[in-house]
Amino acid sequence: MSHTFESVYSPLLKAVFTEQAREQIARGAEADPAARMYAELGKPDFTLAFLLLSEHTDEEKREVFARAYERRATLSAEKAVQYSAQFHRPFPLIKLEARKDQLAAQAIRQGQPILEKH
């Protein structure tokens, strides 16, 4: 049985992100470019809000949503390295969160729910 992008991922979204997305669209933003921009910034919540308002196929939405988690994982891993150098100690929790984001991206690409809410 196949579930839609909306049915699987909309429960993850807090209303505040949907409100922000609707406000930006009312001011002239377009849902698809905004979703891609937030994905590149590593902001899955905003990415999801715009994807739920977009007209893309579920497969395209999953790809962009997964990209948001991958990008956040990359940014987190870079931050862990930077902090380790700056403070001369490891930051394993940041690395753990980056790994969770990678796993979330894999699940999304497979159309599976994210097991742990981020």
Read off the pTM. Answer: 0.91
Question: Taking phi first (over 0 means left), then psi (-120 to 50 degrees means alpha), and beta for anything else, what does residue 88 get?
Answer: left
CA angle 64, 68, 72 (to 5 degrees): 165
> Is the CB of residue 72 less than 8 Å from the CB of residue 86?
no
| 111 CB-side CA count, 13 A | 10
What pLDDT sits at residue 115? 73
Residue 117 has pLDDT above 80, yes or no: no
- What are the C-alpha distances in Å from 100 to residues 47, 48, 72, 97, 107? 18, 17, 10, 5, 10
Q: In this predicted model, what pLDDT tens digit does every residue of 8-65 receive, in sequence order?
A: 999 999 999 999 999 999 999 999 999 999 999 999 999 999 999 999 999 999 999 9
Residue 90 Cα distances to 3, 23, 71, angstroms = 40, 40, 21
Q: What is the rounded average pLDDT for all residues in the chain?
A: 94
DSSP 115: S
